[in-house]
Each structure stands twice: as structure tokens, then as C-alpha cells.
Amino acid sequence: MSRFLSRLASLVAGCLLLTLVGSAAAQDDTTPIRFQLDWRFEGPSAPFLMAVERGYFAEEGLEVQVDSGSGSAGAINRVASGAYEMGFGDLNALVEFLAENPDAPGIQGVYVVYDGTPAAVFARKDRGIETPADLAGKSLAAPAFDTGYRAWGIFADANDLDADAVEWQNVDPTLRETLLVRGDVDAITGFYFTSLLNLEGRGMGEEALTIMPFPEYGVPLYGNAIVVREVFAEANPEAVAGFLRAFNRALEATLADPEGAIAYVQERDPLIDVDLETRRLKLAIEGSIDTPDARANGAGAVDEARLANAIQLVADAYDLPEVPSADEVFTDAYLPPQAERMIFPGQNE
């Protein structure tokens, strides 16, 4: 009996060793990626969180950590610094970073999520503002880092408005909508799906507003994109490609069922207002993600001529010391094939 128990113990020990070795090998095959969002866990973060919880990233051999952010520029800086391998930031902020930091480690956009910038003007109708021309002589407020404020010259030029004909107040983002509601300013700029909901929450609905989304008023800028540190991408090209495949799957599922996708945001932050964040996600989809260009080219891609034009517009408006090339700003090397990116409702029916 003792000989039998000894053999059994040896067999169990051997199996345990093989399990540990196999587990270690599996871990060695897993690539960790720290991912920085642009903002809090809100509706538009749903596809990133879904890809984690449904195991889409894990199926690609990735262990992805998704963290909330504090702004697009911050996300760009943290990826460039190496604190994160990948992130989600404004492509225009990336253009600015590359121009002002030519010697910094490279960072590129690899998947455009917001095909059009969400920037918009929100103006009080009771101040007689119906068109861009009516903004002349009026006061506007926005944080200094706001895309609408930074790209104001592009909006003004596109609408035959003297960019200097308005008076700007740079304010804390928590005060922007309150100032408009109180009538302390005539208009503000902000992301469409953020400022609109903030204004409604303060009792000011669409009926009291003239809203001018930048893409609908001649501003061809791209919005937020997934970005990657070039050193990481060059060392781990399949990991980056796998990340985009997994995200693409999750974005398709989000587009098909926004209500269901919000559950993954709620899992990360149980205190969210589910109805509010569902509406925020739908506004982001309708205004910035599901666009004619994205449907034509497939999600994630860019039109090269449009991108080159957008870069030049940003360089001029931001008075940048350099003009990055389109290849420096964005690469399609890691994108899934176009057929796999035709993910918008009705395209595959």
C-alpha cells in the first residue's frame, strides 16, 4: 500500500508540475497592454470594456488593462511617455504633439473611431444666434484644451466669419455649460454628446439652442482614434493587430445593440446613469462613428487626401512649428481587412 501511495503521490506531483509549466507557457504567450481612455467610463467607452469582458482581447492572446482618462491630450502624452502602450485620443491632439515634440518617441493613430470630430458650437437662440455669422460680437466659453476652441479658426474660415470677431473665455470644463445656462456667455464649444447632455441636465433643451456640429459646418477634421507607441508596435505587430481585431468585433456588437453594450460600462462603474449613458453612446454613434465616409471606407480607416488636408488645417490653426506627414500621424498597417470593417447596421444583410 505504501508503494502505491508513493507512486500516486509522484503521479500527482508530475501532473501538477505539467500544469504549472503549461500555465507559465500560456502566460508567456500573453501580451500585456495598458490602455488609456480619453475620459471617464461613459457610454462611448462601451466597446473597449466589452472587448475585455467578453474575452475578445484574451482570444487574441492579450491581457488588456483599460483605465479611465482625463482628456485626449493626456492620453496622447501618457502613451508617448511609455506609461501606456496604447490609448484613445483626439487625432488633432496627436498632430499637435508630433509637431511640438519631434524628438519624442513616435506615436501613431491605428484605428479612427470618431470619423468626424464631435466638436460643436452651442448657442442661445434668445441671443439672436441662428447661423455662424450671428456669432460675431458674441461671447463664447470653453476650456483651453477644448477641440472646438483650438480649432475655432478652422470653423470660422469655413463659414466666412472673422475668427477674432468673438470674445473667448477660457473656463474650467465643469463651469462651461453652467455659464451658458445662466446667460453669462452667448455660446460655448464642446463635444456634441457631452455638452448637449450636460445642458439638458441643467434645464436647457435643444429647443433653446442653435447647435452647429463642426462636421456639418465645413470642418473635415477627424476625431478620436486608437493610438499606439511605435516602439511597442514594431516589437509586437501581431498584438496591435489583434487588439484592433478584438475592438472591431466589440464595436460591431455595440453598433448593433447600444443598449446591451452599456451593461459593460455599468459593470466598471455601477454608479452611472444607464439611460443617460445609453443616450450618450447613441449620440456618439449617430454623430461621429456611423458616418458616410466610415460606411464607404470601413470603420477605422482614413481617406488619405482628407487626412492630409486636416493635418494642414490643424497646423495652420494651432500655429504649429512643423507639419507632420499623414504617414507619421496614421498607419493602416494593423487594421483588419476592409471587408471585416464593414460593420455598420445593414451593411452585411
Residue 32 predicted with pLDDT over 60: yes
Residue 216 corresponds to which cell in the numbers above?
Answer: 456639418
The residue with cell 478620436 is: 224
Residue 127 corresponds to which cell in the numbers above?
Answer: 441671443
Q: What is the pLDDT of residues 156-202, one digit of tens each?
A: 999 999 999 999 999 999 999 999 999 999 999 999 999 999 999 99
Provide the pLDDT for residue 3: 46
Q: What is the pLDDT of residues 131-144, one digit of tens each?
A: 999 999 999 999 99
Partners of 169 in the β-ladder? 141
pLDDT band per the 50, 70, 90 thresholds, residue 349: low
Q: Assign 282 to helix, strand or coil.
A: helix
Query: Angle formed by the axes of helices 46-53 and 237-256, to 10°?
Result: 110
Count up the domains in the chain and report the number: 2
Same domain? For 242 and 334 the reply is yes
Provide the pLDDT for residue 145: 87
Q: What is the pLDDT of residues 263-311, one digit of tens each?
A: 999 999 999 999 999 999 999 999 999 999 999 999 999 999 999 999 9
- Is 179 a domain residue? yes
Residue type, 96: E
Q: Percent of the chain, pLDDT > 70?
A: 91
Interatomic CA distance for residues 259 and 270, integer angstroms: 15
Number of helices (H), then strands (E), belonging to the chain: the values are: 16, 10
Provide the pLDDT for residue 10: 47
Same domain? For 327 and 273 the reply is yes
The helix (run of H) or strand (run of E) holding residue 87 is strand 86-90
- Is 336 a domain residue? yes
Q: Given 3-state DSSP classes, what are the helix, strand and coil percentages for the chain, each rounded to the nearest 5?
A: 55, 15, 30
Provide the pLDDT for residue 1: 44
The CATH number of whichever domain residue 148 belongs to comes to: 3.40.190.10
Range of the domain at 103: 32-115+222-341
The string of DSSP letters for 176-236 reads HHHHHHHTSSSEEEEEHHHHHHHHHHTT--GGGEEEEEGGGGT-----EEEEEEHHHHHH-
Residue 260 corresponds to which cell in the numbers above?
Answer: 446591451
Residue 21 predicted with pLDDT over 80: no
Same domain? For 328 and 290 the reply is yes
Same domain? For 177 and 206 the reply is yes
Burial of 145 (0-12, 13-18, 19+ CB in 10 A): middle
Provide the pLDDT for residue 95: 97
Same domain? For 232 and 305 the reply is yes
pLDDT band per the 50, 70, 90 thresholds, residue 8: very low
Q: Percent of the chain, pLDDT > 90?
A: 88
- Is-contact 219 151, C-beta < 8 A? yes
Residue 248 predicted with pLDDT over 70: yes
Q: Please state, rounded to an integer, the average pLDDT across all residues of the chain.
A: 92
- Is 190 a domain residue? yes
- Is-contact 99 228, C-beta < 8 A? no
**End-of-domain residue from the set 195, 217, 239:** 217
Same domain? For 152 and 96 the reply is no
**End-of-domain residue from the set 217, 237, 258:** 217
User: Pairing between strand 119-124 and 209-213?
Assistant: antiparallel
Q: What is the pLDDT of residues 56-99, one digit of tens each?
A: 999 999 999 999 998 888 899 999 999 999 999 999 999 999 99
Nearest CA-CA partner of 230 in 92, 110, 144: 110
The helix (run of H) or strand (run of E) holding residue 19 is helix 2-28
Same domain? For 313 and 237 the reply is yes
Work out the number of other CB atoms within 10 angstroms of the CB of residue 208: 15
